[in-house]
């Protein structure tokens, strides 16, 4: 029932490897504190992987390192993203290549309208793919369609990015942007935090709509609750900068029941 | 800020000035130097009545007395102003051309070309857009468009020189009534040597159907520009007035000392918008315009309103405080400003709101953006006189720093002599956030575009106050100013 870090089932939907992380070590740049201490993870296209773990285990650091936040330094290991060396890419290049991060704390951009912001983002991604920029009409149509996915009012296009948004709106806005940018790999960093059950359901429905065989998800969460709605193919437990246990969706339930202390006893890891 | 970010901000802070070309136009220029003879020369050139010559000479004598008391420059400003040799400047330079122009076709093609390069197509503007333009090159008004349309409404919009000839009674009545020559050093200098500018009169009950605008251009080397603008809005009238300025790129510093006076009678409203883009000097601070300008409006009548909106991006040194004297009861003064400095630029700008009448109100919103090694100061005075019952003021000053070698300063002054006054002041300073930039980068937006987005967002509230045609120009200008080539 409980497997070490080598999930054999379920069978991947497609055998295209989206993300391969090998022996990843990363430290806080400012003081050199090591947070990730030899992390391995393989994600194939079409799969949803949940990363769970206690506070301070390195979950959000993993998201930041993947997205390319400059506060962290990778000291060892490699990350392959769809056949390319992710660590060689700049932050904006990673995004244009199809890596999306739904922020735990979405940032406010006062005076920058959602439509202006997303037009720049969408057209940067399109240009990178060798596509023409969207016409104003097509862009607005796309916004309307994708906003409906997470029940966002279309009037949001004139609002400033995240400014004056409620906690739930901010999280829905992240999923809305995910839908607009159509990435290959989406990382959701504690998207469930601060959401009531209704908002959680809306966000999860949005994500489920976006699941597909060409796209992979890495869902980072502290609680099992989100995984009732976004059912993962794999669950990994991150403790002290390493994945110490992996399994199917039932692992999340077991964690919910027994708590993270149980991992400590089971694997001999400090929690 | 990441290393790349720092580099980018460095580039942003040093981007090139787009309007730095010189036009080869024959000009009629006075020899350098300042004396009573210079003033007589200018006055004679302009065929002025004797009262105006006397008025100039009084101003000159006051200027000389200020020079004797020291160099006369404002010491209180947060500026480092090098000494100015007033004898090295030529006080009159006019593009040579026929004095009377029947139509735009007669304007020197070089001149039309100059303004086309500046993005001000004179001919098209005349026909397509609802804007009347007065163009002041060096010290002289070279063309005014759209006149006939205005005449129908009884609106006078012409160069200052023409107004002196054609409407002397109005000039004599209002000239110096808001900014007397004794007001300050540069106002004294301007009053003595001003050579042209714009004049505008809106008669009673007339809503000016088009935007009036003046474009100022310094072209000649070794000259200063000293223009005067006088706007009189009679009872129950309305006008929106726009002003734009550029200058060639030169190693020398050139002096621009203008005076703008606005008079608003009962129920009149004047909206005055400026895009100031004088040459700011190069990244080491060589060259550039010294922009020492006195702008003031008086809400003379009850329920009158004067509103200043400015986007300041140019000049090596800016010293400028567009102000409102709220004399009429229930009158309203507004000041909306975005000042962007980079390189070695220095700006000390703000406003004065003087509450005299009852139930007067004023609003001040100032946004300063500093990059490079520039210094950007807001300086504002809110003064409520004893008789100004129920005066209200709201002031908000926000500063944004790009990088860590620039400075932002706020100097609010309050002088309240009436206990019924309500005065609010808010100030914020923020560094452009790494989190904000990271958020944009993560959406695939380049760092340069991210900075543009964030700065434009910061300034948006003010830019939205500009008339529409101008707002587009302002956004483009701000984008150009922020332009840097990302490696």
Asked if B441's CB is within 8 angstroms of A92's CB, the reply is: yes
Distance from CA of B2 to the nearest CA of A (A): 7
Predicted local distance difference test score (pLDDT) of residue A256: 83
Q: Does A95 touch chain B (CB under 8 A)?
A: yes
Chunked into runs of 10 residues, chain B (487 residues) has average pLDDT values of 47 55 61 84 90 95 84 73 79 57 53 56 44 57 62 88 93 95 91 88 92 71 80 96 69 81 97 84 77 94 96 86 96 94 88 97 93 88 96 93 85 94 87 87 93 87 78 70 44
Check residue A170 and give its pLDDT: 93
pLDDT, residue B126, reads 43
Pairing of strands B269-276, B288-299: unpaired
| Interface residue B32 vs chain A (CB under 8 A) | no
A176 has a pLDDT exceeding 90: yes
User: pLDDT digits over A133-144, tens only?
Assistant: 999 899 999 999
Across the interface, whether the CB atoms of B453 and A116 are under 8 A apart is answered yes
**pLDDT at residue B58 in the model:** 95
Contact A128 B443 (CB under 8 A): no
The reported pTM is 0.77
Cross-chain residue pair A124–B444, CB shorter than 8 Å: yes
Measured between CB atoms, does B476 come within 8 Å of chain A? no
Q: H helices within chain A, ranges in order?
A: 59-67, 91-96, 114-128, 136-149, 167-181, 197-210, 225-229, 250-258, 261-267
Q: Is the ipTM of this complex over 0.95?
A: no
Task: Quote the pLDDT of residue B9.
Answer: 47
pLDDT at B134: 62
Decide: B62 and B187 in contact? Cβ < 8 Å: no
Q: With CB atoms and an 8 Å threshold, state whether A124 touches B440.
A: no
**Interface membership of A69 toward B (CB under 8 Å):** yes
pLDDT at B158: 85
End-to-end C-alpha distance for chain B, whole angstroms: 17
Burial class (CB in 10 A: 0-12, 13-18, 19+), B75: exposed
Pairing of strands B407-416, B375-384: parallel
Q: Which of B441, B444, B450, B486 to mutate to test the interface with A (most CBs of A within 10 A)?
A: B444
Task: Select the residue from B1, B443, B450, B478 to test the A interface by mutation, using most A Cβ atoms within 10 A.
Answer: B443
What is the per-residue pLDDT for B129?
41
The count of C-alpha atoms lying within 13 angstroms of the C-alpha of B120, restricted to the half-sphere facing its C-beta, is: 27
Query: Looking at beta carbons, which residues of chain A come within 8 Å of B458?
Result: 110-111
Answer whether A106 sits within 8 Å of B443, measured CB to CB.
no
Q: Which of B4, B436, B461 sits opposite A109 (nearest CB)?
A: B436
Please report which helix (H) or strand (E) contains residue B475, including its range.
helix B468-482
Kindly report, residue by residue over A49-85, the tens digit of the pLDDT: 999 998 889 999 999 999 999 899 999 999 999 999 9
So what's the pLDDT on residue A28? Answer: 94
Report which secondary-structure segment, H or E, holds B264. Answer: strand B259-264
Whether the CB of B398 is below 8 Å from some CB of chain A: the reply is no
Cβ–Cβ of B435/A95 closer than 8 Å? Answer: no
Size of interface A-B (CB pairs under 8 A): 79
Q: Within 10 A of B24 (CB to CB), how many other CB atoms are there? A: 8
DSSP single-letter state for residue A108: P
- Spatial CA neighbour of A160 closest among A151, A172, A173: A173
Instruction: Give tens-digit pLDDT for A216-266.
Output: 999 999 888 899 999 999 999 999 999 999 999 999 888 888 888 887 776
Tell me if B441 and A110 make a contact (CB, 8 A cut-off): no
Which string of b and e fits A164-200 if b means at least 16 CB within 10 Å?
Answer: ebeebbbbbbbbbbbbbbbbbbbbbbbbbeebeeebb
Q: Using CA atoms, how far apart are residues A78 and A104, in angstroms rounded to an integer?
A: 25
CB–CB contact A103 B439 (8 Å):
yes
């Amino acid at each position: 029932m409980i497997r070490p870090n080598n999930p054999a089932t379920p069978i991947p939907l497609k055998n295209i490897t989206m993300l391969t992380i090998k022996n990843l070590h990363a430290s806080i740049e400012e003081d050199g504190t090591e947070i990730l201490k030899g992390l391995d993870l393989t994600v194939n296209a079409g799969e949803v992987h949940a990363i769970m773990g206690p506070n301070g285990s390195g979950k959000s650091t993993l998201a930041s390192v993947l997205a390319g936040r400059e506060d962290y330094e990778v000291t060892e290991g490699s990350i392959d993203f769809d056949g390319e060396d992710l660590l060689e890419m700049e932050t904006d290049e990673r995004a244009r290549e199809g890596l999306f991060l739904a922020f735990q704390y979405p940032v406010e951009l006062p005076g920058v309208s959602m439509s202006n912001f997303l037009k720049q983002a969408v057209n940067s991604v399109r240009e990178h793919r060798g596509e023409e920029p969207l016409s104003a009409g097509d862009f607005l149509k796309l916004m309307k369609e994708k906003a409906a996915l997470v029940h966002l009012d279309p009037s949001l296009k004139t609002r400033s990015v995240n400014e004056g948004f409620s906690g739930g709106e901010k999280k829905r806005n992240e999923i809305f942007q995910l839908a607009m940018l159509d990435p290959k790999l989406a990382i959701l960093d504690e998207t469930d935090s601060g959401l009531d059950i209704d908002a959680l359901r809306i966000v999860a429905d949005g994500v489920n709509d976006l699941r597909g065989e060409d796209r992979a998800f890495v869902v980072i969460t502290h609680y099992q609750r989100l995984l009732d709605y976004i059912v993962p193919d794999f669950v990994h437990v991150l403790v002290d900068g390493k994945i110490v246990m992996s399994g199917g969706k039932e692992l999340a339930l077991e964690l919910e029941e027994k708590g993270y202390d149980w991992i400590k006893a089971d694997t001999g890891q400090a929690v | 800020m990441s290393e790349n970010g720092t580099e980018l901000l460095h580039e942003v802070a040093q981007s090139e000035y787009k309007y730095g070309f010189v036009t080869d136009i024959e000009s009629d220029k006075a020899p350098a130097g300042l004396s009573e003879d210079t003033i007589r020369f200018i006055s004679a050139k302009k065929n002025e009545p004797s009262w105006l010559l006397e008025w100039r000479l009084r101003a000159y004598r006051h200027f000389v007395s200020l020079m004797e008391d020291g160099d006369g420059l404002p010491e209180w400003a947060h500026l480092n102003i090098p000494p100015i040799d007033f004898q090295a400047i030529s006080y009159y330079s006019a593009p040579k051309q026929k004095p009377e122009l029947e139509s735009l076709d007669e304007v020197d093609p070089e001149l039309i070309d100059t303004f086309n390069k500046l993005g001000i197509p004179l001919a098209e503007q005349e026909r397509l857009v609802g804007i009347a333009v007065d163009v002041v090159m060096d010290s002289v008004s070279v063309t005014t468009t759209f006149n006939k349309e205005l005449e129908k409404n009884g609106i006078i919009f012409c160069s200052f020189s023409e107004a002196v000839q054609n409407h002397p009674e109005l000039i004599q009545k209002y000239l110096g009534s808001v900014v007397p020559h004794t007001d300050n050093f540069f106002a004294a200098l301007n009053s003595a040597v001003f050579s042209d500018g714009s004049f505008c009169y809106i008669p009673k009950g007339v809503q000016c159907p088009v935007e009036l605008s003046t474009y100022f251009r310094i072209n000649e080397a070794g000259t200063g520009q000293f223009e005067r603008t006088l706007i009189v809005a009679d009872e129950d009238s309305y006008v929106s007035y726009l002003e734009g300025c550029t200058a060639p790129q030169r190693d020398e510093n050139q002096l621009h000392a203008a005076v703008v006076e606005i008079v608003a009678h009962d129920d009149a409203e004047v909206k005055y918008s400026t895009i100031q883009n004088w040459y700011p000097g190069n990244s080491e601070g060589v060259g550039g315009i010294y922009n020492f300008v006195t702008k003031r409006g008086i809400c003379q009548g009850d329920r009158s309103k004067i509103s200043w909106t400015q986007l300041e991006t140019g000049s090596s040194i800016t010293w400028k405080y567009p102000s409102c004297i709220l004399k009429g009861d229930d009158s309203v003064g507004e000041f909306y400003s975005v000042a962007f400095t980079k390189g070695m630029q220095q700006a000390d700008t703000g406003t004065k709101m003087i509450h005299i009448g009852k139930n007067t109100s004023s609003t001040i919103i100032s946004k300063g953006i500093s990059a490079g090694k520039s210094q950007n100061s807001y300086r504002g005075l809110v003064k409520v006189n004893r008789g100004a019952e129920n005066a209200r003021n709201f002031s908000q000053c926000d500063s944004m720093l790009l990088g860590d070698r620039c400075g932002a300063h706020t100097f609010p002054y309050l002088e309240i002599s009436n206990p019924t006054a309500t005065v609010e002041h808010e100030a914020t300073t923020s560094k452009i956030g790494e989190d904000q930039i990271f958020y944009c980068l993560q959406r695939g937006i380049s760092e340069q575009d991210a900075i543009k987005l964030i700065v434009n967002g910061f300034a948006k509230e003010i830019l939205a106050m500009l008339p529409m045609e101008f707002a587009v120009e302002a956004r483009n200008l701000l984008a150009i100013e922020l332009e840097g080539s990302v490696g």
